Amino acid sequence: MFTPLRRRPRRLRASATLRRLVRETSVTPDDLILPLFVSETIAERAAVGSMPGVFQLTVAEAAEEAAGAWGDGVRAVLLFGIPRHKDEQASGAYDDGGIVQQAVRAIRAAVPGMLIITDVCLCEYMSHGHCGVTHLEGGCLEVLNDASLKLLAKTALSHAAAGADIVAPSDMMDGRVAAIREALDGGGFEKTAIMSYAAKFASAFYGPFRDAAQSAPQAGDRKGYQMDPGNALEALREVALDVEEAADFVMVKPGLAYLDVLWRVKERFEMPTAVYHVSGEYAMVKAAAANGWLDERATVLETMTAFKRAGADLIITYAARDVARWVAEDAAE
């Protein structure tokens, strides 16, 4: 008979083998997506100072990095492009010879089995750095939603034509999933999936990314279209709209500061759900580890486990290759 006061031995924690045997949540390489920055402005890889271990890559180097990731067990990459030319119509985003389109073709040739996801946004290609078409009136900068949808749909269609498996709109314009789905279906790309940045918050954790992607706004900020960090119920409404518009995956971004939102999204919608372990989260661990304040491997693996435990099916992380190797090493012990 069970007696509450009886001391219970910690039998199932006695060894690493036992702990693995009864572990409720595990991370595998199949859970991981590696972001890559591909640039037209460089002749060879360039280190991102605020993100140790992350580089801007040429097209050829992106294909090599994808091949290396495949060898580590990572089966998906997410591409961000840095064009040579920027303008107020983001023309480089939907240029069939653009940097992302080139990278998709190169990676497909080098690693045929790799799942290729492309970020669909306009900020890297706009001269002003915002995620859509802008209008300035009376000193007030406005991002025009419907005009931006047309360019986002053109961009997604161009990525699909280049061979992308999944397009991932990150702009947070209203109605962009429906606009992209209509463009893809109309262009004969019914099988191209959409991974929506459905709950993307206006976060302080994006700074290193904007350094890497050269995408910081030249004026104003993105709080008018990205979500307020205090609004979890609004996040559920945003996700519901994207699901209704036929998103195949939904995403919560950032990760650690929004684990509650991630949990609610997975519980409410039961959709394939991604989380983005963003640049600031990655950089903080790197900095702390470099100073000897944290064990990088243990901290990153615990973070990945937290994402899975909170409901993530997929984890986008700059540490994907390291995580895949560490997981494999632990399994081999």
Q: b vs e for 124-158, b when ≥16 Cβ sit within 10 Å of the residue's Cβ?
A: bbbebbbbbbbeeeeeebebebeebbebbbbbbbb
The per-residue pLDDT for range 272-302, each reduced to its tens digit, is 999 999 999 999 999 999 999 999 999 999 9
Reading the block at residue 148, the tokens are: 């931006």
CA gap 248, 244 in Å, rounded? 10
Q: Does 191 qualify as catalytic in the annotation?
A: no
The per-residue pLDDT for range 123-133, each reduced to its tens digit, is 889 877 677 77
In percent, how much of the chain has pLDDT > 90?
A: 73
DSSP assignments along 96-117, one per residue? TTSHHHHHHHHHHHH-TT-EEE
Q: Kindly report which listed range (23-32, 149-158, 210-219, 277-286) carries the lowest average pLDDT score.
A: 210-219
Residue 304 CA: distances (Å) to CA of 27, 274, 296: 7, 12, 12
Half-sphere exposure of 82 (CA within 13 A, CB side): 24
The torsion region of residue 167 among left (phi > 0), alpha (psi -120 to 50) and beta comes to beta
**Choosing from 86, 150, 154, 200, which is the catalytic residue?**
200
Full set of structural domains in the chain with CATH = 25-332 (3.20.20.70)
Q: Does 253 qualify as catalytic in the annotation?
A: yes
What pTM value is reported for the model? 0.93
**Choosing from 253, 266, 286, 308, which is the catalytic residue?**
253
CA gap 203, 243 in Å, rounded? 23
